[in-house]
Structures are given as structure tokens and as C-alpha cells.
Chain A
Amino acid sequence: QQQVKQSPQSLIVQKGGISIINCAYENTAFDYFPWYQQFPGKGPALLIAIRPDVSEKKEGRFTISFNKSAKQFSLHIMDSQPGDSATYFCAASTSGTYKYIFGTGTRLKVLA
């Protein structure tokens, strides 16, 4: 119940296209859902995060869609660029803790 399932494992998108990464969870106590971007040999960097009281959050080209009833959330990268090629992790945490449960990661490659 503590797992966060992430898909797909890898994704190839053409430049300018939309990249979509999905995550699903079981624990209804999760109330904070961040997305991180990680380049090889670097630590993860926070991209965007959402709480379950909103269904969508947008920051620049990055959008999180959240479906509370389905216990699913997704990251959409609009106008994907080769520089977006990285590994993306979703995560979830419960109130009162900074302890994150991470998804398994999605390796995104954007073709020039």
C-alpha cells in the first residue's frame, strides 16, 4: 500500500511533442505529490508538486493532472525539448512527514 507505481519505464518523444508520465498510488493518506527530474550523475531536482485539493497545476511547460477518485496523477511536458531528456520520478508523502515514497522512474528521451 506504500508503493507508487510509475509508467512507462521509458519514453521516446519527438521534439515539440507532449510527454506523459503516469503514477498511481493506493494509500489514501498521501497528500503531497511532487515530480522530480534527474540528469545522469546528478541529484533529483524538484519540478512541480500538487496537493489533492486541486485537479491540475501548471508551471511553464509542465502540468500535473490529479485524479483523486482514481488515485492517479500524471506529468505532462508540453513542447518537449531535447534538454528535457532525463529520468523523471513521481513521489508521494503523508502529512507530518518529509518521507517520500518514490516511483520507479521514467527515462525520457526527446529526439531532436
Chain B
Amino acid sequence: GAVVSQHPSWVICKSGTSVKIECRSLDFQATTMFWYRQFPKQSLMLMATSNEGSKATYEQGVEKDKFLINHASLTLSTLTVTSAHPEDSSFYICSASRTGRKLFFGSGTQLSVL
């Protein structure tokens, strides 16, 4: 099956620091990856679409300068939360598609900003 690896699983950081989250497609190439944010007991909120070799497309209301996305290769996309603040604390999840319409999700990253 298609495996999407996300790292780290959880991270605690101080307010004002930046945090990088990695999303890798382990057994397939993904030209497009997606980044979501999920609050407790809520649905997945699409933040941005990450395209290999080009700029990410952000959803309305998502701050581009706050959430930097880089899709440097066909198997790796990164999300950097810059100058993190407590309100950025959340569960972040990436997804990628191998073929067809199926999306495969990473295991998520729980970010806690103190």
C-alpha cells in the first residue's frame, strides 16, 4: 500500500520559535501533497496544497508567512510554522496521492506551543 510518513509525531516548543514538520511518501512519488490542521474533535481543515517544484496554494484565511510550505522533491514536503504562538497549537496532518483519487494520510504531528 501507499505509505506516507510524517515526522515528528509530536513537538513541544517555546513561543516565538519555528517548527518544521516533514511529510514523506515512502513508496511512491507525489507531485501533490496536502497539509491539514485539525482541532480536537473537529474535522480536517485544508491549509494548503503543496506542489513539487512550485509555490504552495494556500486556502483562504491561512497565513502564508506563518505556515511556510516547501515541496522540494517528489517524495518530501515540509511545513514550517514560523514564530509559533500558543494559538498555533494543533494537530497537523499531511496527505499525498499515488494514483487515481485516493489520498493517503500521514500519522499527524501534535504541536504544542508553550
Listed from nearest, the 4 A-B pairs whose CB atoms lie closest are: A43-B105, A32-B101, A43-B108, A98-B97
Q: Which residue of A lies closest to B33 (CB)?
A: A98
Please count the residue pairs between chain A and chain B whose beta carbons lie under 8 angstroms apart in the complex: 49
At the interface, is chain B mostly helix, strand, loop or mixed? Answer: strand
Q: Count the A residues whose beta carbon is within 8 Å of the partner chain — how many?
A: 20
Known: A45-B105, A107-B41. 20 other contacts (CB 8 A): A32-B101, A34-B101, A41-B110, A42-B107, A43-B6, A43-B108, A44-B44, A46-B103, A46-B104, A93-B101, A98-B32, A98-B34, A98-B97, A98-B101, A98-B103, A99-B46, A100-B103, A104-B42, A105-B41, A105-B43
Query: B-side interface residues toward A, CB under 8 Å?
Result: 4, 6, 32, 34, 41-44, 46, 49, 91, 93, 95, 97, 101-108, 110
